[in-house]
Each structure stands twice: as C-alpha cells, then as structure tokens.
C-alpha cells in the first residue's frame, strides 16, 4: 500500500467494528447478533434454534472454518456482518489444529502449558482472517462466547469471583486485545433478604427478566468499549448500533437518502 499524506484519516468511524459478545446462557446473544446488518454465521455450535439466518452449517474442524472464511473473502456476496458462534466451541477445534500442525497426539502432549501457548498462533490466524473480512470486504465482526465464573486475584483487594469469557486465559486475553468492544450480556438481578428465624436471613437473587448489555468493566465482569457507549443498555441491536459511529453514520446516510 502506498503511504502518503493523502491516505491520512481523521476517524475510525469509517471502519466496521469488531465486537465480542459474551454472557449467561439463554440471554439472547445469538439473537442480538442476528439483528446486525445482513449477517452470515460461522457456526461451531448448533445454537441458532429457530433463527432464520444464512449459515455454512456446523463447522466441525478448523479446516472447515478456514474454507468458510476463504469463501467470504474471495467470492462475490453482499453480507455485511460475519458472526462466529461461538468462541468456546471453536477453541477445541483450534487445539486439534495446533496438535495436527505440531504432530502431537493432543494439545497436552508437550506439557507445562506449551500446547496452549502454541495454540495462540492458530488463534492469530483466525483473527487475521476475520480482520481481512473487515478491512477488505467491509464486514462488521461479531464474536460470541459463553461466560464462566472464575476467581480474580486483584493486587488491590482480596480475591473475588467475576464473570469472564469461557476461554483459556491466554486465548481470552488475545481475543480481547483484537476487538473494539467486549460486551457482557446478563439479566438485571436484584437481591432480597428473607428472615428464616433464629435471627438468620437468607439472601436470594431475583431477576425481573430485563436483559442488559454492559459495556464498561466492573468488579463483577469484564467489559470494554472504544465508542463511549453508555455503561449499560438494553439488549437491543438498535440501541447498541446507535452508539457505534460506523452504524450511526450508515443510519444517518440511509435516512438522508429516504428524504
């Protein structure tokens, strides 16, 4: 690529976003991604249910995933969003591919965590493929993952539990670095105390059914965003897209064209 002053840009709003969406089971992560502009799904798990969206079907190996990425990169299409569902079901395929490339029987063979370290090279290959679709085909990227609850050893406080992405720790850190937003989806939860006698109380969690998308990190969960999104918003694509410059700009242009 020729570099000159003419190639300077003043904003990243022209580039489609890379979003990582994780959360509790059944909260609506896949449905939210399906509402993105003209999506196509890369399925490593069979989680679409009744959603009617384009998909390559269940991808059972890393080679299958690579073929799907190559098709989206090299063949004509009008898809605007590529959705990977889900990262934690992709991870075993990446481990298998890592073992194959290194002629190991499994990811544990080299010992001392060396297999998981080597797997980062395959993770980078996958992320590079998604970034190519974003940069050269103009596609938004949504990565879906489940969550886990793990102990966090803070240097400032006593250890505590928090929601994290359900991936091996190094892989999770790598993926988080590559995205523009890490969004945590959960139900709105409140607690109530009930007297059970003998001066004892039981604390119960109560959900009102409201589904929220958290965009800024808190002790209870990981999150981040580069778009100055509200701290939390309802789990709704229109609300999310309104705060992302690329989509907000497209909406404004479409509105002008309709006038």
Q: What is the per-residue pLDDT for 205?
A: 42
Q: What is the pLDDT along the chain (259 residues), one digit of tens a residue?
A: 577 787 666 655 578 999 999 999 999 999 999 999 999 999 999 989 889 999 999 999 999 999 999 999 999 999 999 999 999 999 999 999 999 999 999 999 999 999 999 999 999 999 999 999 999 999 999 999 999 999 988 888 888 999 999 999 999 999 999 999 999 999 986 444 445 455 554 444 445 678 999 999 999 999 999 999 999 999 999 999 999 999 988 665 444 454 4
What are the extents of the domains in the chain?
16-258
Q: What is the per-residue pLDDT for 154?
A: 82
Q: What is the per-residue pLDDT for 9?
A: 67
Buried b (16+ CB within 10 A) or exposed e, 153-171: eeeeeeeeebbbbbbbeeb
CA separation for the pair 102, 116 (Å, rounded): 12
Q: Which helix (H) or strand (E) holds 257?
A: helix 245-258
pTM assigned to the model: 0.88
Candidates 193, 191, 242, 188; CA nearest to 213 is: 188
How many C-beta neighbours within 10 Å does residue 134 have? 17
Q: What is the CATH number of domain 16-258?
A: 3.40.50
Q: What is the per-residue pLDDT for 47?
A: 85
**DSSP helix/strand/coil, 197:** strand
Q: What is the per-residue pLDDT for 192?
A: 46
Q: What is the per-residue pLDDT for 246?
A: 92
Q: What is the per-residue pLDDT for 108?
A: 96
Q: What is the C-alpha radius of gyration for the chain, rounded to an integer number of angstroms?
A: 21
CA separation for the pair 82, 75 (Å, rounded): 14
């Amino acid at each position: 690529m020729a570099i000159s002053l003419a190639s300077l840009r003043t904003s990243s709003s022209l580039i489609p976003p890379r979003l990582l969406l994780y959360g509790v089971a059944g909260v609506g992560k896949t449905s939210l991604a399906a509402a993105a502009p003209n999506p196509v799904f890369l399925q490593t798990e069979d989680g679409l249910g009744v959603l009617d969206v384009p998909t390559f079907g269940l991808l059972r190996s890393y080679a299958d995933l690579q073929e799907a990425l190559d098709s989206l990169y090299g063949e004509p299409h009008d898809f605007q969003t590529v959705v990977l569902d889900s990262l934690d079901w992709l991870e075993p395929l990446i481990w298998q591919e890592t073992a194959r490339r290194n002629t190991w029987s499994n990811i544990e063979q080299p010992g001392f965590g060396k297999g998981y370290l080597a797997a980062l090279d395959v993770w980078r290959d996958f992320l590079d493929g998604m970034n190519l679709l974003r940069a050269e085909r103009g596609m938004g990227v949504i990565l879906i993952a489940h969550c886990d609850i793990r102990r966090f050893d803070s240097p400032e406080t006593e250890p505590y539990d928090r929601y994290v992405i359900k991936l091996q720790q190094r892989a999770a850190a790598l993926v988080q670095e590559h995205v523009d937003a890490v969004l945590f989806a959960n139900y709105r939860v409140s607690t109530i105390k009930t007297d059970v006698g003998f001066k004892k109380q039981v604390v119960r969690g109560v959900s009102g059914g409201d589904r929220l998308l958290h965009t800024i990190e808190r002790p209870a969960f990981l999150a981040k965003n580069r778009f100055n999104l509200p701290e939390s918003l309802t789990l709704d694509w229109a609300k999310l897209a309104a705060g992302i410059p690329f989509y907000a700009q497209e909406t404004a242009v479409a509105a002008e064209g309709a006038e």
